[in-house]
């Protein structure tokens, strides 16, 4: 089965409380661009992510979440000076923290910095068509620009809230010379 493979650049998901600390009371996220997952969007708001060795400006993705998290590549982790474990989104226990700076204030996270595990979003019908189940591990082959690569250890995430798309970080996309969004083939 074919799947759209998208590059997911570093970004931040914020809680409603942290959004107000960073941008001021009553602030709402501004939708700059809809993303492939239903209801998800890139925001006009950005924060400075500060680690022990450096800092980077990062976009916020909306809507707000119950808990703030920072998703980076391993190259970004080196620049910031943090050891970001490879985790699924939301799996934040035992992860390092950082400082987020916004125009109205800053938030010190005691946890929440991860390198997102490569994954494929499926709605239940798409998962059935592909013959996969939630949390199943598959491989995905991409062949673009003469740098064919098979991504192993890809977790399938199934929910009625999702639309079919695979997400890799910028390090992974660069390794396969992906220009942004390309087609891949799921290998069971």
CATH no. for residue 149?
2.40.40
Alpha-helical segments (H) within 28-179: 74-80, 124-130, 170-175
Mean pLDDT of 153-163: 98
Same domain for 180 and 130? yes
Averaged pLDDT for residues 147-164: 97
Q: What is the mean pLDDT of residues 26-51?
A: 98
Q: Looking at the structure, do residues 84 and 33 belong to the same domain, yes or no?
A: yes
Looking at 89, 116, 143, the residue that finishes a domain is: 116
Q: Are residues 13 and 98 in the same domain?
A: yes
Based on the fold, state whether residues 15 and 108 are members of the same structural domain.
yes
SS3 content of the chain, % helix, strand, coil (to 5): 15, 40, 45
For residue 67, give every residue at least 6 positions away whose Cβ sits within 8 Å of its Cβ, in sequence order, or none: 15, 90, 92, 112
Q: Report the alpha-carbon distance of residue 45 to residue 162 in Å, rounded.
A: 24
Q: Whole domain around residue 34: which residue ranges?
A: 9-116
- Looking at the fold, whether 82 and 173 belong to one and the same domain comes out as no
pLDDT of 85: 98
Query: Per-residue pLDDT averaged across 118-134, rounded?
Result: 98
Q: State residue 188's pLDDT score.
A: 85
Q: What is the pTM of this model?
A: 0.94
83-101 mean pLDDT: 97
Residue 180: per-residue pLDDT: 81
Note whether residue 26 is domain-resident: yes
In Å, the largest CA–CA distance within the chain is: 50
Question: Is the same domain home to 61 and 99?
Answer: yes
Cα dihedral 91, 93, 94, 98, rounded to 10, equals 80
Q: Are 73 and 115 contacting, i.e. CB atoms less than 8 angstroms apart? A: yes
- Distance, in Å, from the CA atom of 34 to the CA atom of 57, rounded to the nearest integer, reads 20
The pLDDT value given to residue 11:
98
- Residue tagged 């500060």 (tokens): 50
pLDDT the model gives residue 143: 92
CA distance 115 to 18: 21
100 with 15, same domain? yes
Q: Is residue 170 part of a domain?
A: yes
Total number of domains in the chain: 2
Mean pLDDT of the chain: 97
Q: How far apart are CA 16 and CA 106, in angstroms?
A: 14
**Which of 92, 116, 140 finishes a domain?**
116
- Spatial CB neighbours of 27, under 8 Å, sequence gap ≥ 6: 19, 20, 45, 104
Among 62, 95, 116, residue at a domain's last position: 116
């Amino acid at each position: 089965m074919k799947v759209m493979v998208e590059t997911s650049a570093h970004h931040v998901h914020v809680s409603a409380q942290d959004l107000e600390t960073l941008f001021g009371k009553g602030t709402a996220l501004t939708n700059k661009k809809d993303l492939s997952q239903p209801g998800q969007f890139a925001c006009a708001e950005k924060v400075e992510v500060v680690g022990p060795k450096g800092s980077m400006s990062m976009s916020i993705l909306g809507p707000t979440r119950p808990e703030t998290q920072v998703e980076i590549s391993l190259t970004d982790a080196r620049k910031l000076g943090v050891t970001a474990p490879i985790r699924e989104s939301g799996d934040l226990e035992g992860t390092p923290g950082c400082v987020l700076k916004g125009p109205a204030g800053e938030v010190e996270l005691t946890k929440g910095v991860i390198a997102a595990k490569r994954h494929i979003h499926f709605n239940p019908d798409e998962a059935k068509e592909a013959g996969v189940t939630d949390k199943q591990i598959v491989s995905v082959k991409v062949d673009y620009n003469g740098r064919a690569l098979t991504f192993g250890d890809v977790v399938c995430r199934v929910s009625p809230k999702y639309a079919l798309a695979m997400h890799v970080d910028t390090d992974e996309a660069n390794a396969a010379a992906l220009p942004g969004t390309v087609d891949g083939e799921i290998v069971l």
